[in-house]
Amino acid sequence: MSETSYDVIIIGGGPAGLTAGLYTSRAKLRTLLVERMLMGGQVMTTTKVENYPGFPGGIDGPDLMVRFQEHCQEFGLEVSYGEAENILDKGEFKIVVVDGEELSTRCVIVTTGAEPRKLGIPGEQEFIGRGVSYCATCDGAFFRDVPVAIAGGGDTAAEEALFLTRFASKVTLIHRRDKLRATPILQERLTANAKIEVLWNTEVDRVEGDNSGAKALELRDAVTGKKRSLAVEGLFVAIGVTPKAHFLAEILDLDPDGYILTDPECRTSMPGVFAAGDVRKKILKQIATAVGDGAVAAIMAEKYLEGFD
Ligand code: NAP
């Protein structure tokens, strides 16, 4: 086991984790933030953030996350890269297992966020990186002047459809119902964009292609069951997210969808372990609410360490 003992270990470097890290390091608690891959979380794949206060005209997701990190550095937040595999409860202290190494800490804040959900259809896995993508911001530019489709009906699908019109010759948004979940302002923009066609009550059953990549989708009318083919070279899947909490399923209470259950103050079922951001069961998943959660979890961690909680 590593000799170093932290006051707080934060698992995950998205907006919730970075905010928690800002608060705890500013409060002079010895804090380590462990990130698996890339700091910034899901915001890193967002082109423009328009609804985070303080940035009239919007700000690019990666730019916002660089500001979050710089802000944390001002207060000396320690960061390390690795995959957290488990939390072991030793009563007054916890062990966070990161890539097999045991790090000791007095409390933990889990801010692992969520990852894109998969359709689970034939051809999806086979054509990942050759036509199937879960991130328009990352991969959209590979689809210049060719038709693409996007599956989903929420804010992500709407934003990504709009973004893809910068590159693709045509964007077909495929939604399984007759009503979008996306906010009205995004729906208005979709309707106003001549490059976007919405296929209602339609599901994607299969991705088809050859060695050079995806070429078509097999679609099914959800009402009549009638099948048809749609020629596209890209399928962007934007059907929501799943929480990244499976590694904690044995030790924390999760809801049936795998979100960590907490009280309103971000306490989990294990004393000394808090959860914040999209990995926590809550109504609204936004950067603003992740930031709010991160602050609450940090203050509650501070109270826990002071013995007031
Ligand atoms: P979401 O709101 O959960 O929407 C997922 C969409 O995918 C729904 O339209 C759903 O259809 C559809 N869907 C789910 N499973 C499907 C399947 N197996 N096959 C076909 N379609 C399926 O997910 P999201 O758009 O990723 O957004 C996640 C959260 O982030 C939301 O709270 C959203 O508001 C937030 N967000 C906010 C912004 C912003 O504020 N600018 C941007 C992006 C995301 P049904 O409608 O039929 O269920």
Tens digit of each residue's pLDDT (9 = 90 or more) over 86-117: 999 998 899 999 999 999 999 999 999 999 99
Question: What is the CA(185)–ligand 1 centre distance, in A?
Answer: 15
Residue to substitute in 156, 177, 217 for testing ligand 1 pocket (most ligand atoms within 8 angstroms of CB) = 156
Question: Do the domain assignments include residue 1?
Answer: no
Question: What is the CA(168)–ligand 1 centre distance, in A?
Answer: 22
Contact predicate 273/300, CB 8 Å: no
Q: What is the mean pLDDT of residues 215-222?
A: 98
pLDDT in tens, 260-301: 999 999 999 999 999 999 999 999 999 999 999 999 999 999
- Within 8 A by CB and 6+ apart from 56, the residues are none
Token pair of 47, please? 């082109």
The yes-or-no answer on residue 139 being catalytic is yes
> How far is Cα of residue 158 from the mean position of the Cα atoms in its chain?
16
Percentage of residues in the chain having pLDDT higher than 90: 94
The verdict on 104 and 246 lying in the same domain is yes
Rounded to whole angstroms, how far apart are CA atoms 10 and 302? 13
pLDDT in tens, 9-24: 999 999 999 999 999 9
Question: Do the domain assignments include residue 176?
Answer: yes
Question: Do the domain assignments include residue 188?
Answer: yes
Q: Which range of residues forms the domain containing residue 109?
A: 6-115+241-306
186 or 92: whose pLDDT is higher?
A: 186
The whole model's pTM is what? 0.87
Closest CA to 214 of 118, 135, 156, 146: 146
| Position 86, amino acid | N
Question: Do the domain assignments include residue 44?
Answer: yes
The verdict on 246 and 107 lying in the same domain is yes
Please report the pLDDT score of residue 138 as a whole number: 85
Question: Do the domain assignments include residue 174?
Answer: yes
Neighbours of 150 (CB within 10 A): 31
Whether residue 48 is predicted with pLDDT greater than 60 in this model: the reply is: yes
Query: Which of 186, 221, 237 is the endpoint of a domain?
Result: 237
Please report the pLDDT score of residue 2 as a whole number: 54
Please report the pLDDT score of residue 91 as a whole number: 86
The verdict on 70 and 109 lying in the same domain is yes
Q: What is the mean pLDDT of residues 242-259?
A: 97
Q: Judging by beta carbons within 10 Å of its beta carbon (0-12, 13-18, 19+), is residue 281 exposed, middle or buried?
A: middle
Closest CA to 12 of 260, 187, 195: 260
Question: What is the CA(152)–ligand 1 centre distance, in A?
Answer: 6
The verdict on 108 and 123 lying in the same domain is no
Neighbours of 220 (CB within 10 A): 17
The verdict on 110 and 125 lying in the same domain is no
| Ligand 1 atom, smallest distance to 285 CA | 32
Closest CA to 183 of 161, 154, 160: 154
Rounded to whole angstroms, how far apart are CA atoms 130 and 213? 5
The verdict on 247 and 103 lying in the same domain is yes
Give the closest residue (by CA) to ligand 1 atom 15. Answer: 239
| 3-class state of residue 259 by DSSP | coil
Rounded to whole angstroms, how far apart are CA atoms 173 and 238? 10
Please report the pLDDT score of residue 308 as a whole number: 74
Backbone Cα Rg of the chain: 21
Question: Do the domain assignments include residue 253?
Answer: yes
Give the closest residue (by CA) to ligand 1 atom 39. Answer: 155
The verdict on 79 and 156 lying in the same domain is no
Please report the pLDDT score of residue 287 as a whole number: 96
- Which residue has tokens 């309707």? 191
* Structural domain total, the chain: 2
Question: Do the domain assignments include residue 93?
Answer: yes
| Ligand 1 atom, smallest distance to 114 CA | 28
User: What is the pLDDT confidence band of residue 46, given thresholds at 50, 70 and 90?
Assistant: confident
The dihedral over CA atoms of 198, 192, 137, 51, expressed in degrees to the nearest 10, equals -120
Question: What is the CA(239)–ligand 1 centre distance, in A?
Answer: 5
Rounded to whole angstroms, how far apart are CA atoms 235 and 78? 39
| Ligand 1 atom, smallest distance to 239 CA | 7
Question: Do the domain assignments include residue 40?
Answer: yes
Helices (H), 75-144: 136-139
The verdict on 127 and 220 lying in the same domain is yes
Question: What is the CA(134)–ligand 1 centre distance, in A?
Answer: 13
Token pair of 245, please? 């909490």
| 3-class state of residue 206 by DSSP | strand
Q: Judging by beta carbons within 10 Å of its beta carbon (0-12, 13-18, 19+), is residue 179 exposed, middle or buried?
A: exposed
Please report the pLDDT score of residue 59 as a whole number: 95
Rounded to whole angstroms, how far apart are CA atoms 33 and 179? 40
The verdict on 253 and 104 lying in the same domain is yes
Q: What is the mean pLDDT of residues 39-51?
A: 89
Q: What is the mean pLDDT of residues 183-208?
A: 97
What CATH number does the domain containing 245 carry?
3.50.50.60
Query: Which of 237, 252, 274 is the endpoint of a domain?
Result: 237
| Ligand 1 atom, smallest distance to 119 CA | 18
Query: Which of 200, 219, 237 is the endpoint of a domain?
Result: 237
The verdict on 99 and 147 lying in the same domain is no
The verdict on 228 and 127 lying in the same domain is yes
Q: What is the mean pLDDT of residues 19-38?
A: 97
Q: What is the mean pLDDT of residues 169-198?
A: 97
Question: Which residues sit with their C-beta closer than 6 Å to ligand 1?
Answer: 51, 119, 151-157, 159, 176-177, 181, 238-241, 285-286
Options 63, 89, 135, 205, the catalytic residue: 135
Closest CA to 168 of 229, 238, 236, 237: 236
The verdict on 122 and 188 lying in the same domain is yes
